[in-house]
Amino acid sequence: MTAALGKDLVGLERLSPDQIRLILDTAEPFKEVSERPIKKVPALRGKTIVNLFFEASTRTRISFEFAEKRLSADTVNVAASGSAVQKGETLVDTARNLEAMRIDMVVIRHPSSGAAAFLGDRIRSNVVNAGDGKHEHPTQALLDLLTIRDKHGKIAGLKVCLVGDVLHSRVARSNIWGLSKLGAEVGVCGPDTLMPRGIEELGVCRFRRIEEAIEWADVLNVLRLQLERMEMGFIPSVREYYRVFGVTLERLEKAPRPLTIMHPGPMNRGVEIDSRVADGPHSVILDQVTNGVAVRMAVLYLLAGGRPELADAAKRGAE
Amino acid sequence: MTRPLLLSGGRVIDPRRGFDQPADVLIQDGKIAAVKAGLGAPDGADVRDVRGHVVAPGLVDVHVHLREPGNEDVETIATGARAAAAGGFSAVCAMPNTDPVTDNQAAVGFIVRQSARAGLTRVYPIGAISVGQRGERLSEFGEMVGAGAVAVSDDGRPVVSSHLMRTALEYARTFEIPVADHCEEPTLASGGVMHEGLVSTRLGLKGIPAAAEEIMVQRDILLAELTGGHVHLCHVSTRGSVELIRRAKQQGIRVTAEVTPHHLTLTDQACETYDTHAKMSPPLREAADIAALRQGLKEGVIDCVASDHAPHAYDAKEAAFDDAPFGIIGLETAFGVVHTELVLNGGLTLPELIARMSSAPAAAFRLPGGTLQPGAVADVVVLDTTTRWSVDPATLRSKSRNTPFAGRTLTGRAALTLVGGTIVHELEAAPGR
Amino acid sequence: MAVEVLELAHGTDRLVLIGIQRRGVELAERIARLIEQDEGVVVPRGALDITLYRDDLETVGPKPVIGETRIPGDLGGKHVVIVDDVLYTGRTVRAALDELADFGRPERISLCVLVDRGGRELPIQPDVVGTKVKVGDGERVDVLVEELDGRDEVDLVSGK
């Protein structure tokens, strides 16, 4: 028997539907913790967690830090820049050093796909992937799932379309796995220059026109368009992108049903999303942020606990 | 004067002459003296009973990286030559992407001298096409050939400028040497770390499309046609490339091509666990590509198997996939991998494999050896084609350990390797003396 | 028991009943209803899940279910009665006390349990007890309530 989630959370591709549901269900009571006068429970008291960020990220790091602190863990933030030292060397050496310091968990953000799995294979501590290259960003997808479930009361049977730069998006990959495992229909919409090869083979519907996606979907998850993509020649200009693929109020008004609007942030208003949509009545963007803390608390809690052999022994004695 | 050597009772395969029958091979004065059944041993001869084994021309690898000068910590000419000998190779061609680049006669001469000092497998230098492999100005082909270079290549980097490739092909005609190109269109391949396809999409790794290779394969073919020069295409990896080469050969264009054991046997799925030993350039492709490469090799569209032996320090591959270097070692596993996967489990015959690993590459690069014709230089390999062995990186002779075949059970390896009649490798449980 | 709770709290003025998940919540509910019938006063009631306050996270098991925690308003100046089904080691009550402290500062906290089976590992004693039973080490007391289990029953289960 293994623990609830195994040792690490690397991505949703490796999780079963039951494991994903367990995380979402566990996140529910943690929402309430953040509403308490004292927003803190002692569940991870004495645990040491290192937030190892090789890539700048404000909101993900803060969200994890809140989650850790609200669970009473001791946290250390390490911001390692990939520029000074060669990235690969830093990662191996950092792993060994962390191991030597007997920490309990590492939350890692790294520009290279596979970095979280790489670290998880080499240290005994639990590893949580906070985004590795273009691979996965599992906690973001989990908070997206929780937000969709809150809003619609279900996930199965819903049509969720990811709009924009799927090619470079770890959020998109994690969402595709999570949504399809929980029975949603997944669509992707954007220019072919921003779609990875063979994406249809992952079982998603492909839309080349935003109007068609809007007609089809119940939920739009609008991805952030990294502005440097334009310099790299994936799109001719931000202006044209907004004109062709922007999620605007005018476009949404033509939808056959009201669409739930999501965005993993940070938003480029007027690039991928219209401000009136982002701030509109169907936007759940701030709920996503709130749910982020609860989902991350659930993940940390589940990874830290769950040693079944001890659980059995305890049950025999207590209660 | 060395003792004569008689290899007695083996199955002798000499593809160039279409010879495949039990016979004895007599070696005298560094040359093949006779190949015939029932040869008597001359006085004082060293007689080896090689019954049950295969006697063939020594294997030839036209594409290895021996890292000397510059990175002697991961491989040297001597250790590379020892690994080659253990792999059954009597000759290898060393690519010029050393540090400094092998782009002048002194650098070429250094490799020739280091090879002679090692006294093992012959190491033939390949000179750089351009000075410093910078893709700008031609190197001095004439002086390099004079010092012992057998080909030119900027391998590791593609020749980006079509003009430079054209002049290289034209200029090389004077010296009758092939121009070997690493076919990759750099703007399409930029930043890529594996084959572009479903696996790269799932892993979130930047892909290199098959078209990046095929564009350059077609360009090189067109330039070979234009110039009449001999272009050699390194490590072909896609089904599209095989088709382009097939058509070019039908038109009589002077093109030769090689394929590596790993591109014949592994797909992009080997990258699945972010295993950096599956990171190579060109990348591992798909099952359909493997099928086309195998068919091309059988037909002779692809002339030869080359290892692209690329040693790296043990910790260089201990990194995130994006950050690890490209390439794997292959000299000691090349024959075993191809024999196991293509001959025992596939559609290639043993004589065909031996042709693709000895006579064909020797012919493509106009090297001595590659035949057991009496009078030829005695570069010979005795192959044990039945014993199963397991690849244990710790026991490899190469200084590096970066192989994706660790733990694999292979059938077939060199029992005895001869260079100029001298034994340079002998398997411990070698056929009895 | 409802009467005893009332006596303990000197009436319903400042009384708050907090049940410990899961069966304590149902018992608190019943006591509140009885008081309501007798006194015509609605007593504020809440629920407390102490999972996150346990001192044995690693034994929580592979699928820990965390129940709802619901505290009715500010606890300052109130008399909180913690209600649970079985009192054994006292560790659950210890956790509940810690958790309650994070919600405010009640004037007084009392403990009401249906069954006291002995075997305390902490210096904790109940103020109101339904029944005391003598239970061996290898035995377990299961309280069943109709709301959750379909019937009201107290079982003595032997063995594991």
CB pairs under 8 A between A and B: 78
In whole angstroms, give the CA distance from residue A125 to residue A195.
35
pLDDT value at A37 more than 50: yes
The per-residue pLDDT for range B50-68, each reduced to its tens digit, is 999 999 999 999 999 999 9
Q: What does the H/E/C string look like for B62-121? A: EEECCCCCCCCCCCCHHHHHHHHHHCCEEEEEECCCCCCCCCCHHHHHHHHHHHHHHCCC
In whole angstroms, give the CA distance from residue B111 to residue B104.
11
Mean pLDDT (chain B) is 95
Same domain, B176 and B115: yes
Identity (one letter) of the amino acid at A40? Answer: K
B308 is known as an active-site residue: yes
Same domain, B335 and B207: yes
Q: How far is C79 from chain A (nearest CA, A)?
A: 19
Same domain, B127 and B197: yes
pLDDT value at B314 more than 90: no
Minimum Cα–Cα distance from A87: chain B residue: B323
Active-site residue, from A109, A134, A170, A224: A109
Report pLDDT for C59.
Answer: 60
Active-site residue, from A47, A48, A60, A134: A60
* Tally of domains in chain B: 2
Same domain, B280 and B263: yes
> C150 and chain A: CB distance < 8 Å anywhere?
no
Provide the percentage of residues in chain B whose pLDDT is more than 90. 93
Which stretches of B236-375 are assigned E, i.e. beta strand? Answer: 255-259, 304-305
Report pLDDT for A307.
Answer: 43
Same domain, B46 and B121: no
Same domain, B114 and B174: yes
Minimal Cβ distance to A113: which of B197, B204, B319:
B204
A60 is known as an active-site residue: yes
Q: Tell me whether residue B433 is in a domain.
A: no
pLDDT value at A36 more than 70: yes
Minimum Cα–Cα distance from A44: chain C residue: C57
Which chains form contacts with chain C, at 3 or more CB pairs under 8 Å?
Answer: A
Same domain, B69 and B156: yes
Residue B228: CATH number of its domain:
3.20.20.140
Q: Is there a contact between A198 and B323 if contact means CB atoms under 8 Å apart?
A: no
**pTM of structure:** 0.88
Q: Which of residues 11-50 of A touch B (CB under 8 A)?
A: 13
Scan for tokens 């492909």, then name that residue.
A206
The per-residue pLDDT for range B390-416, each reduced to its tens digit, is 999 999 999 999 999 999 999 999 999
Angle in degrees, CA A223, A224, A229, rounded to 5:
120
Report pLDDT for C64.
Answer: 61
Q: Strand B304-305: give its sheet, edge to edge.
A: B59-64, B89-94, B122-127, B151-153, B179-181, B231-233, B255-259, B304-305
Minimum Cα–Cα distance from C71: chain A residue: A36
Domain boundary among B364, B392, B413: B364
Grade residue A310 by pLDDT with cuts at 50, 70 and 90.
very low
C82 vs A228, higher pLDDT: C82
Same domain, B285 and B201: yes
> A135 and chain B: CB distance < 8 Å anywhere?
yes
Q: How far is A192 from chain B (nearest CA, A)?
A: 14
Mean pLDDT to the nearest integer, C31-41: 90
Largest CA distance in chain A: 67
Which stretches of chain A are assigned E, i.e. beta strand? Answer: 48-53, 74-79, 105-110, 126-132, 159-163, 185-189, 205-207, 219-222, 260-262
The per-residue pLDDT for range A213-246, each reduced to its tens digit, is 999 999 999 999 987 777 778 999 899 999 999 9
Among the listed residues B102, B110, B97, the one whose alpha carbon sits nearest the alpha carbon of residue B127 = B102
Residues of A in contact with B188 (CB under 8 A): none
Grade residue C137 by pLDDT with cuts at 50, 70 and 90.
confident
Interaxial angle between packed helices B239-250 and B287-299, expressed in degrees from 0 to 180 and rounded to the nearest 10:
30
DSSP track, B180-238? EE----HHHHTT--EESSHHHHHHT--EE-HHHHHHHHHHHHHHHHHH---EEE-S---
Minimum Cα–Cα distance from A310: chain C residue: C59
C5 vs A262, higher pLDDT: A262
Among the listed residues A197, A140, A165, the one whose alpha carbon sits nearest the alpha carbon of residue B202 = A197
Residue B417: CATH number of its domain:
2.30.40.10
Q: Is there a contact between A199 and B324 if contact means CB atoms under 8 Å apart?
A: no
Neighbours of B344 (CB within 10 A): 14
Report pLDDT for C159.
Answer: 60
Active-site residue, from B61, B289, B303, B308: B308
Domain that holds residue B229: 58-364
Active-site residue, from A7, A14, A21, A87: A87
Mean pLDDT to the nearest integer, B226-253: 98
pLDDT value at C158 more than 80: no
Q: Is there a contact between A197 and B200 if contact means CB atoms under 8 Å apart?
A: yes
Mean pLDDT to the nearest integer, A26-39: 89
Q: Tell me whether residue B369 is in a domain.
A: no
Mean pLDDT to the nearest integer, B91-119: 97
Provide the percentage of residues in chain A whose pLDDT is more than 70. 92
Residues of C in contact with A21 (CB under 8 A): none
Mean pLDDT (chain A) is 89
Same domain, B166 and B98: yes
Best C51, C60, C69, C116 member to test A by mutation, with max A CBs in 10 Å, is: C60
Q: Tell me whether residue B38 is in a domain.
A: yes
Report pLDDT for A318.
Answer: 39
